[in-house]
Structure 1
């Protein structure tokens, strides 16, 4: 990582905090970094609910000053009702958030230091609303860069997977946002009215989980904000970026397929849910800021940077690697495709062989799935899959030792001939790379709720004892199966805690007759190895660089010694418990004197023979302390989901205090019918 000192940029820079006025009188808190120049420049916007004055500040300082130093006004804005912005919090990506975003874009374009052209970028939430705002077509918005985001809020987000409730992150993220939304404004930035503003905000807090569990099929709620409903609504140029270890990577494939090729490019690397320049595992990291500058200079300044001469899709194909929960760097190579679907990719279909097999996986199958959102931590990725494979029906396809490697790029697909034992259930398919020593590395996976087999927008029960076809795609991947290895398809009826089990969860019989696995195999092209190709066609990236860091310190606390991921088995009860420390940031001290401490623990329990014992719990403790002001506030939250045969049962609690005085305490308990989940 190369750290660029401020005096090495083309422009000297300055920054200031401002309030952006909205039509209803509320004001959004913003931080603006600008180059010191008499000429107006394009503006770049990052728009998030995650608190620019503390939570994202270290990341913000890596990139916003860098953009300012290269001739852009780079602006970070807190969403309404979050951080130090005024107003009340709402649901994620609701109409108010998007309308405010349009107003912010128009405000930026009207500033004397802006030339009227605006770009928008972000990762995750900021990548989502970048696409959503592009679909609303505010006139000044000319280009966006969306990183680790989704075009489909129902089936490619943290809520549902293949029509099944995504227990691991629907709950964890709803609980996280409950804690995040309950944090107070900072008196250093919000002023003396911070407490009144906080209490007013807390009165409006509603746990997201209530809404998310109420909509168990892909209805109008999920279609809102899903740009896949109408790709044609986007006329801004879109650079879509993802990582093979991020759950949202399929969006990149769909965007380069559906958007006009003169306005879109895609990059998928080996990365987790992080900006690709941060150097967090798995690498290799790239000079992402330099690459995005090429995008901005072309689309916002009209300069020929060669960015549109790059292949439509640049992808990293990993070499085979042994199973591990973290990789500093994955071996592999970059390839380019000028169309998607690519003519270089052809389907290779394997017919499943053997006699019908009964699949009744123990409910704890899935404990070795790894983290849904890998962030580059030591225990994020799936360990050796042999234990999971033992609870699945496995079909192996050898790669001949005297043959060529099989390079997969895109989305594998399965079509399975199943005979369900009950009206409800789910099927999970994992693609693994099995080495000669028997170790099994997870390559990709997919799932299908039985009730969603006719479409994600409906819930159609199965007829027990009757064979039916269950066809679905697995998540996209770039991976090489070398000669002497085996391609393994592992099929299970359970995948806890990723997939919430159905009430009966009796399993199914898989008949190999009529069942297939289809791999998207990419042929190696001459251009892949042509060192004499024009520079614009050789896929290389500079080394990563960033602006000087903010200077946040991270005191070591005893809590940081807790395991990131711990599995506990109660042999007598037949119960399994998974404890996860998400490690978002721990304790940090900011240069402005703020001491910020957060601690979270997620717990998932289930008995291996009873799907109705599934239970999730998330506990958060947050403290914000300014010793020089005597300001000391805490936020404690608890969130739980359990179930019976007919309902999900949710319980949430928020306790907020200033010093020893509790200022707010509320609990919510709801029973939500299980319509599809």
Structure 2
């Protein structure tokens, strides 16, 4: 039967299950018209089951046509399911009840896999008791709310955090028929007024929002270590994107699965959180599920890790994350690194003796240093930051043309000494490659790193570290590397007010000028380097 015929031969129906507390959860189900019972694929999500994450996945009918019972369930308090929604709070208990219910369905053969990204990714990790899925495919999600869901370093994601919280608030308004408040939220998101006004708007329209708790330091972890270990030991297909804010969470799952005795598969491509660029990932999911739920052809262990090299434009494959060597570049500044593009220099190991110097940087809250692209923007992806590096509130340090190509594979780390005159500051850093064009240099941003210090600790001239978004990128011979350092990354990161308080807790007129001094003696940019013969396959 051809693909069109198989899709026509799929049945779609609605099913309802009742939890022990009497709350009913609704699910859409797709299955082949004939045959069965089948292995099941389960997705649990808060955005309305009809969507079924089709912004990145094939429609559930396609998976059903391949011989699966596909179940997409509205979680508690969302869509047509009963109860009250509280982010992740009920997913472990409700998910375990759903697992038992699904295994008992007459058209399920008892074998269950889970798939989904973002919220739907974390629901695959949350279970009470030993009954966990036979295999999972969590994409773009991480196990820790505090480390993987809302901040880099100690700096909260401003635009991403507010946009997501307001989206969930709008869904709640739609569910209760509140068109007026729904319209307010929609207008603020469309006009981008939420960038400045989103925190106050969220307090008004959704006073129980998770973001109000998280940014106020109220963390409630939904992940039980015992239950998580049971999932981590089962087969896992992990999907990440170089421009996805949850990539560190995906990599944490990979590391934790290995430590728990699992054999995870990891795929990281040139993707953002909501755009997977037709990467044939549905076919990859199908091969994974066919093997683990239908005893299909085995997957090749030498392809367990597949990473897209953004420089070469092709895939690296291996059985584990590639081995790395540590490369170091040392910083030299003359006090003019923010106004003279040639003043700040990144030096090779052999030039370390010439490193050192000092610089100062000033953040004017009236015109905060902007940031864009990368993994923290709603318009995520590559960006040319030449105009940003031309600002006097950005320090730049650039190498000479590279004598040979370098392949960076892993997490870049910056170590430096810095101190603020006030009670807090941020470092918003970028690593870029610089190439000449006929008109001007092109400064292609490769990775970003952010860190925040609040309180009296910000005033001491001590060693500080910034961890960047992981990457795999081959930088060609003849190009230059550049490190850019700013005290703000607006609106990706909230503007630190300089008085020891968090950005959301201070009105705009209370923000202070932030002055930070840097000492470059011993300051070092640490690069994870791969051997060139390992770079691509």
Give the TM bin, normalised by the shorter chain: 0.7 to 0.9
Give, in whole Å, the separation in 2 of the partners of 1:155 and 1:98. Answer: 20
1:373–1:423 CA distance, 2 compared to 1 (3 A): closer
**2:346 corresponding residue in structure 1:** none
Give, in whole Å, the separation in 1 of the partners of 2:398 and 2:429. Answer: 13
1:430–1:477 CA distance, 2 compared to 1 (3 A): same
Give, in whole Å, the separation in 2 of the partners of 1:23 and 1:229. Answer: 20
TM alignment of 1:469-508, pairs within 5 A: 469-504=463-498, 506-508=514-516
Q: Secondary structure at the match of 2:165?
A: helix
Q: Does 1:20 find its partner at 2:17?
A: yes
Deviation at 1:528, TM superposition (A): 4.2
Give, in whole Å, the separation in 2 of the partners of 1:31 and 1:361. Answer: 52
CA deviation string 1:503-560 (max 9, x = no partner) = 226231111111110111121336945xxxxxxxxxxxxxxxxxxxxxxxxxxxxxxx
Give, in whole Å, the separation in 2 of the partners of 1:494 and 1:57. Answer: 34
Kindly indicate which of the two structures has a greater share of residues assigned to helix: 2
CA deviation string 1:124-161 (max 9, x = no partner) = 1101211234xx4542511110112123211222x222
1:373–1:27 CA distance, 2 compared to 1 (3 A): farther
**1:643 corresponding residue in structure 2:** none
Kindly indicate which of the two structures has a greater share of residues assigned to strand: 1
CA deviation string 1:556-602 (max 9, x = no partner) = xxxxxxxxxxxxxxxxxxxxxxxxxxxxxxxxxxxxxxxxxxxxxxx
Contact 1:416 1:515 in 2 (8 A): yes
CA RMSD across the alignment: 2.9
**1:353 corresponding residue in structure 2:** 332
Query: How many equivalent pairs are there?
Result: 465
Deviation at 1:372, TM superposition (A): 5.3
Give, in whole Å, the separation in 1 of the partners of 2:176 and 2:64. Answer: 27
Q: 1:511 aligns with which of 508, 519, 522?
A: 519
CA deviation string 1:488-512 (max 9, x = no partner) = 1111111111222222262311111
Deviation at 1:244, TM superposition (A): 0.9
Contact 1:361 1:392 in 2 (8 A): no
CA deviation string 1:598-623 (max 9, x = no partner) = xxxxxxxxxxxxxxxxxxxxxxxxxx
Deviation at 1:360, TM superposition (A): 1.5
**2:83 corresponding residue in structure 1:** 87
Give, in whole Å, the separation in 2 of the partners of 1:244 and 1:300. Answer: 29
Q: Secondary structure at the match of 1:525?
A: helix
Q: Secondary structure at the match of 1:171?
A: helix
**2:201 corresponding residue in structure 1:** none
**2:166 corresponding residue in structure 1:** 175
Contact 2:371 2:490 in 1 (8 A): no
Give, in whole Å, the separation in 2 of the partners of 1:421 and 1:310. Answer: 53
TM alignment of 1:64-103, pairs within 5 A: 64-90=60-86, 92-94=87-89, 96-103=90-97
Q: Secondary structure at the match of 2:147?
A: coil
Deviation at 1:264, TM superposition (A): 0.5
CA deviation string 1:267-295 (max 9, x = no partner) = 0000111363xx3xxxxx32211111111
Give, in whole Å, the separation in 1 of the partners of 2:409 and 2:359. Answer: 30
Q: 1:209 aligns with which of 199, 208, 211?
A: 211
CA deviation string 1:165-222 (max 9, x = no partner) = 3221222221221111221279xxxxxxxxxxxxxxx99973333212221xxx7x25
**1:42 corresponding residue in structure 2:** 39
Q: Does 1:292 find its partner at 2:292?
A: no
1:259–1:131 CA distance, 2 compared to 1 (3 A): same
Give, in whole Å, the separation in 2 of the partners of 1:442 and 1:526. Answer: 23
Of the structure 1 ranges 307-316 and 481-490, higher mean CA displacement relative to structure 2 is found in: 307-316
Q: Secondary structure at the match of 2:303?
A: coil
1:211–1:140 CA distance, 2 compared to 1 (3 A): closer
Structure 1: runs of 5+ lacking an equivalent: 187-201, 280-284, 320-330, 452-459, 530-677
Question: TM (normalized to structure 1)?
Answer: 0.64
TM alignment of 1:578-617, pairs within 5 A: none
Give, in whole Å, the separation in 2 of the partners of 1:183 and 1:154. Answer: 29
Deviation at 1:229, TM superposition (A): 11
Deviation at 1:301, TM superposition (A): 2.1
